[in-house]
Chains A and B, each alone.
Chain A
Amino acid sequence: MTAQMLYPLEQDEISRFSSLPDTRFGKTADPALPQHAQHLSRDELRARLERMSRGGRADDQARPVALSTGFAGLDALLPGGGWPVGAITELMPEAQGIGELSLLMPSLAQLSRAGRYLAWIAPPCLPYPPALARHGLALERLLLVQARDARTVLWAAEQALRCPAIGAVLAWPAALDDRRVRRLQLAAETGGSCGLIYRPPAAAQQPSPAALRLRLRALDGGLHVEIHKARGGRTHALVVHPAAALCA
């Protein structure tokens, strides 16, 4: 039974479930309850309710499938209209410093101001707080996780992706194969967060189960975004101009 199948339940039905007597304890089931609910023990119901509250509450039936990137042109090209939620996006910048982080800033700012946490797993340099604040990120929602080796980075990313309180997980794993990406993908589905994984440009040659794969390079003062793979969408390319470098 998946969480989706429970969404159509009304709130009052659910609160009735939680007070359902356990039939194992020798009590009879409440005749007022829907037929299918009577076959479940209290523990099963509790597990289902736990799953629901993990995957989303009953009232957020329409968990967004995507998070707006903040760039209208890019949103228009992405299936769902933004960064896929509950899935892995791979970002493959040609070099460091071309706007690969600024590309995420509008969406990260939006998440952090909505109270979601942002986990940064093993970033290559210090995410500089004065710059992040200028981009509108709520700094107290930022979790900086340092991990020693490649295995620990992936483990930490998986833990963070599973946590529903964390809206986005940015990770810089040293090495990755499609089996590992699939594990991360499953973790993201569980937690309902955006997994944003930075990989070297050579990774584009390998297949990957990630929902979205982008190749990034600098072009004419902007950022050239090539949609290398988009689940349920088409490959495409465009240039965006993240609010990046202007020195005051």
Chain B
Amino acid sequence: MLWLCILLPRFALEAAPGGALETLALWALQWSSQVTHRAASDDARCIAATHGAALWLEIGASRQLFGDHAALRARIAGELAPLGYSFRLGIAPTPQGATVLARASLDTVALTHAQLQQQLGPLPLTLLSLPDEPLAALHGVGLRHIGELLSLPAAAIARRFGPGTSLYLERLRGAAREPQQCVRAPARFASRCKFSGAITDTTALLFPLQRLLAGLQGYLRSLDRAVQRYTLCLEHHRAAATRLTIGLARPGREAAQFLALARERLAATTLAAPVHGLGVEAHELLHPLVLQGDLFSHAARQAEQLQHSLDRLTARLGHAAVQTLDSAADHRPERAWRLDAVRLATPAAPPDTASSPSRPCWLLPEPQRIDEPCELLAGPERIESGWWDGADVARDYYLARGEHGAQLWVFHDLRGGGWHVHGIWA
């Protein structure tokens, strides 16, 4: 067993479900299947009040996956720093040992119990996770360094400084195992944070959101899952929360991508009321389709880039604003087309050019009534259709010359009479 301790300042103490520490624990699941943040004893809980909160990851099993413990440590530090946490890391064979080393801010790592004992030796007693009372007693008898304390017999320590102190020291050096309550990835992701003040500007939400989305990314990585949509919950003081669902064209799990989409969506959102809390929820977990890091597969890369662009566009403009077009089998020009959802990476079908009659590039949304055109260049093409659905038409279509030499697609309505322009030959 090798434990990495992430030591955080006091703010992270609120270990409520879905709170900051919980979010960070879900984030940490991507590095280790054994993550814990629950202090084993009440003593340790009150220590946390003075020393800050801690998160422990068992990295003995996972360090090979990431190179070695130093590589893993560097990666964890590299991902934590941009999230704005101030933190310290320590690595040791026991969770308590890792905590003390993290507190000492030494750059050293203890890989074995012997190394741990050696490194703890010269450190001051104040770095130990002990309540004030036994700590004062230890000081009273002239002990200053951890090494001096560890050299005393356990029974004597228990007698003079209480069984709690003795048990803690046993756990520190690995003679006693610490019961661990490991964090388990829940079936659905829900994480939230509360603000001390009210936020009225959506851009101010991005920073706390970044942390929540990092939690979502770690959670998805640990389960090897992806999501195609997630929900932002903007909590207001006395009103129902604003829920924004953000969709992706394809399942993804990169926090940076989630954040980019949320940024666009928030930019287009007007806050109904000041925001007091922020939540991120993801319910439907999917298998990831795109393998990350496939730098040289051109087609996959292209599809992914297009997906990201589409996601950005739809996040700001809405899904209905980005579509593709297709022809439809109907003789009536206004029904010979349809909007379609964009499909990615479909093989290009050979367009059929021969069969269809010549048509203008622009179609007007509605035929527009005009006076009889003075110059007809070609036609007529009679279109009579639709008697079966009540929207029947009987028209003679012509090519007509308009102003500035424009070429218009006009028709004479054989039923109602009158001339209309229906398209433009651009």
Residue in A49, A54, A97, A162 whose beta carbon sits within 8 Å of that of B425 in the complex:
A97
CB–CB A53/B359 < 8 A: no
For B327, give its contact among A53, A129, A246 (CB under 8 Å): A129
Q: Is B27 an interface residue (CB 8 A)?
A: no
Question: Contacts A53-B296, A159-B312; is A97 near B399 (CB within 8 Å)?
Answer: no
Q: How many residues of A contact B (CB 8 A)?
A: 70
* CB <8 Å contact, A217 and B405: yes
Task: Tell whether A247 is near chain B: CB-to-CB under 8 Å.
Answer: yes
Contacts of B70 in A (CB 8 A): 25-26
Confirm or deny: A72 has a beta carbon within 8 angstroms of a beta carbon on chain B: no
Question: Which residue on B lies nearest to A114, using beta carbons?
Answer: B348
Interface residues of B in 331-371 (CB under 8 A from A): 333, 336-337, 339, 342-343, 346, 348-353, 356-365
Q: Please indicate the chain B residues that have their CB under 8 angstroms from the CB of A152 in the complex.
A: 316-317
Q: How far is the CA of A145 from the CA of B348 in the complex (A)?
A: 20
Does B423 have its Cβ within 8 Å of any Cβ on chain A? yes
B337/A128 in contact, CB under 8 A: yes
A113 to B349, CA, bound (A): 8
Q: Are A102 and B326 in contact (CB under 8 A)?
A: no
Whole-angstrom CA separation of A113 from B348 in the bound complex: 6
Count of chain A to chain B residue pairs whose CB atoms are closer than 8 Å in the complex: 208
Binding site of B, secondary structure by majority: helix, strand, loop or mixed?
mixed
Q: B-facing mask of A14-57, CB < 8 A → 1, else 0?
A: 01001000101110000000000000000000000110011001
**For the complex, what is the distance from the CA of A98 to the CA of B67, rounded to whole Å?**
65
Nearest-neighbour CB distance to chain A for B394, whole angstroms, equals 18
- In contact, A139 and B359 (Cβ under 8 angstroms): no
Tell me the bound Cα distance from A113 to B67 in angstroms.
45
Across-interface contacts of B240 in A (CB, < 8 A)? none
**Stretch from B84-92, B145-153, B373-381 that touches the partner:** B373-381
A204 to chain B, nearest CB (A): 15
Which one of A61-69, A81-89, A119-127, A176-184 is at the interface? A119-127
A161 to chain B, nearest CB (A): 10
> Is A132's beta carbon under 8 Å from chain B?
yes
Look across to chain B and name the residue whose beta carbon is closest to the beta carbon of A156: B313
In the bound complex, CA of A49 to CA of B352 (Å) = 39
- A159 and B313 contact, CB distance less than 8 A: yes
Q: Which residue of B lies closest to A148 (CB)?
A: B317
- Does A96 sit at the interface, judged by CB under 8 A? yes
Closest residue of A by beta carbon distance from B323: A144
Contact in complex: A95, B324 (CB < 8 Å): no
* Contact call B357/A97, Cβ cutoff below 8 A: no
A134–B353 touching, CB < 8 Å? yes
In the bound complex, residues from chain B placing their C-beta under 8 Å from that of A145 are 313, 317, 321-322
Contact of B362 among A95, A125, A155, A165 (CB under 8 A): A125
Bound: A244/B359 CA distance, A: 9
Note all chain B residues with C-beta closer than 8 A to A135: 353, 361
**A164 interface residue, CB < 8 Å from B?**
yes
In the complex, identify which listed stretch (B1-9, B273-281, B301-309) lies at the interface while the others stay far away: B301-309
Please give me the residue from chain B that is nearest to A109 by CB atom. Answer: B351
Q: How far is the CA of A131 from the CA of B336 in the complex (A)?
A: 10
Known contacts: A142-B324, A218-B405, A218-B406. The answer to whether A128 contacts B423 by CB under 8 A is: yes
CA distance A26 to B70 in the complex (A): 8
The answer to whether B404 touches A247 (Cβ under 8 A) is no
Tell whether A25 pairs with B74 under 8 Å between CB atoms, given A124-B362, A125-B363: yes
* 24 CB-based A-B contacts, threshold 8 Å: A25-B67, A25-B68, A96-B406, A97-B362, A102-B361, A109-B351, A115-B302, A127-B325, A128-B337, A129-B326, A131-B360, A133-B327, A136-B351, A144-B339, A145-B321, A145-B322, A165-B309, A219-B405, A245-B399, A246-B358, A246-B378, A247-B377, A247-B378, A248-B357
Interface on B for A, CB 8 Å cutoff? 67-68, 70-71, 74, 295-296, 298, 301-303, 305-306, 308-310, 312-313, 316-317, 320-327, 333, 336-337, 339, 342-343, 346, 348-353, 356-365, 377-379, 381, 397-399, 402-408, 423-426
